[in-house]
């Protein structure tokens, strides 16, 4: 997991980071089965700690998922959160801002969606779109983007200081893998609903997206809110890395079962 963490103040170069890395799990030699078995173990532990997080109601976890189209944000949520209690988990997807939202600062709508204490919140895309797609389409200047990087760092520090752990994952796929996944959507009638013609237009801006992602990842990976660049060509390895990072974050909270109500002798409780 730490191999994929972006160190603060380091300069990210995505083309130097493999999208098909699978760590010690060789995909040609039972690596997939081994990784999935390990992921299942992690998810069992994650479910226990998520219940304690919810029961205590003292801390929260915010998971931010970013990546190119088809990088697997939906799939990551589906698989890594498969064993948790839905009652203590919230997923938010940020679409184009409304007129009312545009009348406020770019973080105004986001703060309202951060997880309350006791919850895990997942952002499927996030406030980072306001320093990504806005730059790709020349909606903000480089100067404004730099200001927003600082504001994002301050915002995430605020969350951390008030009991919310922030984990951020960039799901790193290759352009060739994206092509395969887009073709799969077109060919599968059950997946065609996910296809959007704008995906093809955005794909033509691939290199520009890489540039703005490198800037954002470099400027906003901090000690209190680190980025993890997760190789995502192999979905099973992507799930493993994210599951391990989430579990590690929950373990660091030192979660314990809350004490029972006072004044009850549980050894002598009789239920008719």
Mean pLDDT of successive 10-residue stretches along the chain, which has 272 residues:
89 97 94 96 96 96 97 95 91 92 95 96 96 96 97 98 98 97 91 86 96 98 97 97 97 89 75 79
In-domain check, residue 272: no
In-domain check, residue 54: yes
In-domain check, residue 266: no
Whichever domain contains 119, its CATH number is 3.40.50.300
Would the pTM of this model clear 0.85, i.e. be above it?
yes
Contacts (Cβ under 8 Å, ≥6 apart) of 136: 202, 205, 208, 209, 212
In-domain check, residue 111: yes
Contacts (Cβ under 8 Å, ≥6 apart) of 162: none
Give yes or no for a contact between 33 and 137, defined as CB atoms under 8 angstroms apart.
no
Give yes or no for a contact between 244 and 25, defined as CB atoms under 8 angstroms apart.
no
In-domain check, residue 267: no
pLDDT of 9 reads 86
Tell me which residue range forms the domain holding 67. Answer: 2-254
Domains held by the chain: number? 1
* pLDDT per position as a tens digit, 192-228: 888 888 889 999 999 999 999 999 999 999 999 999 9
In-domain check, residue 269: no
- Pick from 9, 2, 14: which is nearest to 171 by CA? 14
In-domain check, residue 264: no
In-domain check, residue 236: yes
């Amino acid at each position: 997991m730490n191999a994929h963490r972006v160190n603060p103040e380091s300069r990210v170069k995505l083309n130097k980071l493999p999208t098909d890395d699978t760590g010690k799990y060789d995909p040609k030699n039972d690596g997939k089965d081994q990784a999935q078995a390990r992921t299942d173990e992690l998810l069992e532990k994650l479910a226990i700690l998520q219940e304690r997080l919810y029961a205590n109601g003292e801390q929260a976890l915010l998971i931010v998922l970013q990546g190119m189209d088809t990088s697997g944000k939906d799939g990551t949520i589906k698989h890594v959160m498969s064993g948790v209690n839905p009652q203590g988990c919230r997923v938010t997807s940020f679409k184009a801002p409304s007129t009312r939202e545009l009348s406020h600062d770019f973080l105004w709508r986001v703060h309202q969606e951060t997880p309350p204490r006791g919850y895990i919140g997942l952002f499927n895309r996030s406030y980072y779109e306001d320093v990504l797609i806005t730059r790709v389409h020349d909606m903000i200047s480089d100067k404004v983007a730099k200001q927003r990087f600082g504001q994002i760092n301050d915002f995430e520090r605020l969350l951390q200081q008030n009991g919310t752990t922030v984990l951020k994952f960039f799901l790193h796929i290759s352009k060739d893998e994206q092509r395969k996944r887009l073709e799969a959507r077109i060919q599968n009638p059950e997946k065609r609903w996910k296809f959007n013609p704008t995906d093809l237009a955005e794909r033509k801006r691939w290199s520009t997206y890489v540039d703005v992602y490198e800037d954002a990842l470099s400027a906003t990976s901090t000690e209190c809110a680190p980025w993890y660049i997760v190789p995502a060509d192999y979905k099973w390895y992507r799930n493993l890395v994210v599951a391990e990072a989430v579990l590690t974050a929950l373990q660091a909270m030192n979660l314990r079962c809350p004490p029972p109500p006072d004044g009850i002798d549980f050894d002598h409780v009789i239920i008719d």
